[in-house]
C-alpha cells in the first residue's frame, strides 16, 4: 500500500495596523489555502498576538491557541477541508473552554501526516 507523507504548514500572518497598550487583538480574517501538498491556515489580526501550537498525534490534531484575542462570530465557523487533497480534514475555531479571550483552532489531520 502506498504511504503518503503530506506536509502540513500553518502560516499565521500577523498584520499590525495599530498598537493598543491594553486592548486585545481582533481577528480580521481567516483563510485556508491549498498549495500542492501544503495546507495553509492564514489568520490576520489587528495587533500582535501570542500563539502556541500543540500536536496531539493520538488524535491526529494540531491545536493552535491564540491568547488575548477577540473574534466576530463569522470567524468562528468551521472550515471543511476534506475535499482538498492536502493534509487537513476540518478546522474548528472556538474560544477555549473557561476563557472568553483565548481563541483555539483545532485542526483535524488525515492519516500519515507530518507537520512542521
The reported pLDDT for the residue numbered 37 is 81
Give dist(CA 64, CA 53) in Å, integer: 5
Has this prediction a pTM greater than 0.85?
Answer: no
The reported pLDDT for the residue numbered 21 is 39
Q: pLDDT 10s digit of each residue in the chain, 116 long?
A: 333 333 444 443 333 333 343 458 999 999 999 988 888 999 999 999 999 999 998 899 999 999 999 999 999 999 999 999 888 999 999 999 988 899 999 999 988 776 55
Asked if the 6-115 domain carries CATH number 2.60.40.3500, the reply is yes
Residues 70/74/76/80 CA torsion (nearest 10 deg): -150
Q: State the maximum Cα–Cα separation within the chain, in Å, rounded to a whole number.
A: 55
**Sequence spans of domains, the chain:** 6-115
The reported pLDDT for the residue numbered 24 is 83
The reported pLDDT for the residue numbered 114 is 65
Amino acid at each position: 500500500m502506498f504511504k503518503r507523507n503530506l506536509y502540513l504548514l500553518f502560516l499565521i500572518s500577523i498584520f499590525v495596523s495599530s498598537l493598543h497598550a491594553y486592548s486585545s487583538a481582533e481577528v480580521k480574517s481567516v483563510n485556508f489555502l491549498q498549495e500542492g501538498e501544503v495546507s495553509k491556515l492564514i489568520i490576520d489580526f489587528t495587533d500582535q498576538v501570542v500563539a502556541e501550537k500543540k500536536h496531539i498525534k493520538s488524535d491526529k490534531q494540531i491545536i493552535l491557541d491564540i491568547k488575548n484575542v477577540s473574534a466576530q462570530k463569522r470567524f468562528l465557523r468551521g472550515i471543511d477541508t476534506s475535499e482538498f487533497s492536502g493534509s487537513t480534514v476540518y478546522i474548528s475555531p472556538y474560544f477555549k473552554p473557561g476563557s472568553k479571550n483565548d481563541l483555539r483552532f483545532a485542526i483535524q489531520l488525515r492519516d500519515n501526516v507530518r507537520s512542521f
